[in-house]
Amino acid sequence: MEAWDAIRARRNVRQYTPEPVSDDDLNRIAEAGWRAPSAKNRQPWDFVVVTDREQLQELSTVWQGAGHIASAAAAIALVIPVPPNERRKVTDQYDVGQATMAMMIAATDLGLGTGHSSVGDQDKARAILGVPDGYLVAYLLGIGHPADRPLKPIRKPNRRPFDEVVHHGRW
């Protein structure tokens, strides 16, 4: 798939087939996150790739919107250090967002669906993943083969009108 088609085909997938995702594909997706830009090239992230069914089931309980993680073939947890100040919190969140989007586009390119989730219960998430104190599990990214329909460019996305969003020169 071309990059532009992957961008247009990417959507949140929260229902997956039971088909596994290969280690090669998971590593490629993680590499996309690893290659993402970051402020001052700090690369504040660590990624935990999870394929164990029991772990996925447990992870699905760390946030009300994480239920889809239980049926995903895999999940990647994006982990960052506890920020020392508000500025670092903002830049680290921005960086993790860029890594997440890079992973989502890479997965789409492979025909795999992704669905992101926040993490509410940090203690539980750290325990499930073996993440040491001093770190936050920022987000979870469920990954799997879409159960409902294949990924293809969306012709009419459910988005605010382009002309209302994009301003040239001034608001």
- Please state whether the predicted TM-score (pTM) of the whole model is above 0.85: yes
Q: Is 125 helix (H, G, I), strand (E, B) or coil?
A: helix
Residue 88 corresponds to which tokens in the numbers above? 């670092």
Q: What is the pLDDT of residues 110-139, one digit of tens each?
A: 999 999 999 999 999 999 999 999 999 999
CA distances in angstroms from 98 to 68, 83, 88, 153, listed in the order given? 22, 17, 15, 21
Domains and CATH numbers, the chain: 3-148 (3.40.109.10)
Tell me the mean pLDDT in the region 72-90.
Answer: 97
pLDDT, tens digit, 9 for 90 and up, residues 67-79? 999 999 999 999 9
Look at residue 118 in the predicted model and tell me its pLDDT.
Answer: 96
